[in-house]
Structure formats: structure tokens, C-alpha cells
Amino acid sequence: MASLNSSSVSFLNSPSLPNKPLLTTNSSLNQLSFPKSSSLINSNDSLTLFHVRSSRASSSRSPKALVVAAAANKSEPLKIMISGAPASGKGTQCELIKKKYDLVHVAAGDLLRAEISSGSDNGKRAKEYMDIGQLVPDEIVVMMVKERLMQPDSQDKGWLLDGYPRSLSQATKLQGYGFHPELFILLEVPEEILVERVVGRRLDPVTGKIYHLKYSPPETEEIAARLTQRFDDTEEKVKLRLHTHHQNVASVLAMFEDTIIKVDGSVSKEAVFAQIDSALTKLLEQRAEKIGSAIA
């Protein structure tokens, strides 16, 4: 990579598109000039920087230069939502997405527990409802999510909103705050597979590790003897949870239908991630094409 102190740079390649130049032209590249102290360029640039020598620089090209610089600075980080029924493998896929794309993983349940633990105003309000056995109102949870998505790391790196919003009212409020996903990932798994995954789950009370009697059995008879089943991991209760999930998510899907991709979640976790990775790669390629068109 060229030194960031160089005052003349051109952006040619994206790491997600190896050996595919964003600019295709027979003419020599013009110089793109930036102040040495420009905040538009940082070490997290998503496009590769190359020093280009040119005999002249045209001020008329500055708008195009700004477009390229903005893209390189990841000025539009990825904004992703993911939804899936209980046992659809959503947690596993969130970890894989976060690892590859370095997004900030935001899960409403985790936020709620963290806010209560920290004793924040939102946490205190939420705890009051939980202490009397009531659901925490949407307005409190939405505010927690909003504040997390507005933090600098989420704004800079992009975010992955996990299993939220769960209702039309939550989706509408987030939309009102300006949070709309570029991609809404929906994990689809047949109900009979979901039921099998849930009913076969077992917890090791000593280590906290989750096993599955069929897909991930315990290593020893000693561990198998002490495994327990969650009270709601029964066929009757999981079907009730699935029914509630499908009712709630239908209205959310209608709101984000222009950004939804449906992913087959019944296959291996590697195959599921390959589908998601392909969709995210395509999204980044489309961005690159738009940049190329803008500066052509």
C-alpha cells in the first residue's frame, strides 16, 4: 500500500474483487489530489491505494475524487439485519459474518442484559418491568438498539442487527430513526427440522456447553448422564414459539421486502454461510460498479 502521506493517489482495486480493476480506460489516469491531513483516508480503507504520477491535475475532477475517497473510507459501511426462527442457526451465522466482515454484532437480548447490569437509565426502566413479570416495552428496547447503532464503532465499521426488529412497531420505529438495512437475511428451515433441533438439545450444567443428542452428542457417558433439557425445549412448546415467531416476522418481512434474501438454513453451517457470503460479495460488487460508473 502506498504511504498515506502521499498527496496523489488513485483507487484501483477492491480486496473483495481481486484482479478486477474498478476503472477500465485506455487513457492515463488523472491525478486525484487530497490534503496530506485529509480525514477521508484512514487505515481501514476498503480499496487499495496506489501512487500515480501525472503531469496535470484537473480541478473539474474533484467531485469524482470525492466519490472515490468516500468509498475508500467505507463512508457507507454495511448495514445488515438477520432473522430466523428458534434453532435456525442464526447465532452461528452471526459469528461467521462478524468474523469475516468485521461488523458490530448487535443483539437486543444482549443489550438488555448489559444495560440492566450497568445500571443505566434504560436498564433500570427495563428491570422495573421484568421484576413484576411484564415484557419490556418496545420503546425502551428500541432506544437501546438505536443508541448502540449510533455509537462510533457501529457507524464506522457497520452493523449486524441480530433477530431484531421482531414486530412491525419495532421496525417502524427503527425506520423512523433512519436505520434501514442494505440486506435483510432470512434463514429458512422447515418446521420439522427446527423441532428436531430444539427437542434434541441438551445442556451440560457443569460446563455450560450445549449438545445435541443426534448432531453433537456428548463425548463421554459421564457427561451424557448429567445433561439436562431446558423446560421449554419440548415439541409442544417449540411449536408454540415457532407459531409466534412466524406471526411476528411476517409484518417485518413486508416492510423490508426490497432488501430480503432468503437463505436455506437446513444445510450445513458452512453451506449456509456460503450463501450469505455470496450475497454480501454481490452487494459489494454492485457498490464498486456504481463507483466505477460515477467516475467514468
- pLDDT tens by residue, 249-280: 888 998 998 999 999 999 999 999 999 999 99
The pLDDT, as a whole number, for residue 80 is 97
The domains found in the chain, sorted by start residue, are: 78-294 (3.40.50.300)
- What is the SS3 assignment for 263? strand
Considering the candidates 36, 99, 214, 230, report the single residue annotated as catalytic.
Answer: 230
Catalytic (active site) residue 202? no
Catalytic (active site) residue 287? no
The pLDDT, as a whole number, for residue 290 is 81
Distance between CA atoms of 160 and 81, rounded to whole angstroms? 6
On the 0-12 / 13-18 / 19+ scale of CB atoms within 10 A, 88 is buried
Closest CA to 11 of 35, 39, 30, 36: 30
The pLDDT, as a whole number, for residue 237 is 92
Considering the candidates 148, 166, 173, 202, report the single residue annotated as catalytic.
Answer: 166
Cβ(9)–Cβ(34) under 8 Å? yes
Considering the candidates 79, 197, 201, 202, report the single residue annotated as catalytic.
Answer: 201
The pLDDT, as a whole number, for residue 295 is 75
Considering the candidates 79, 90, 148, 173, report the single residue annotated as catalytic.
Answer: 90
The pLDDT, as a whole number, for residue 70 is 44
The pLDDT, as a whole number, for residue 248 is 86
Closest CA to 81 of 147, 153, 175: 175
Catalytic (active site) residue 262? no
Can you list the residues of the chain whose pLDDT is less than 50?
1-74
Considering the candidates 74, 127, 241, 287, report the single residue annotated as catalytic.
Answer: 241
Place of cell 436455506: 264
Place of cell 414459539: 241
The pLDDT, as a whole number, for residue 87 is 92
pLDDT digits (tens, 9 = 90+) for 139-189: 899 999 999 999 999 999 999 999 999 889 999 999 999 999 999 999 999
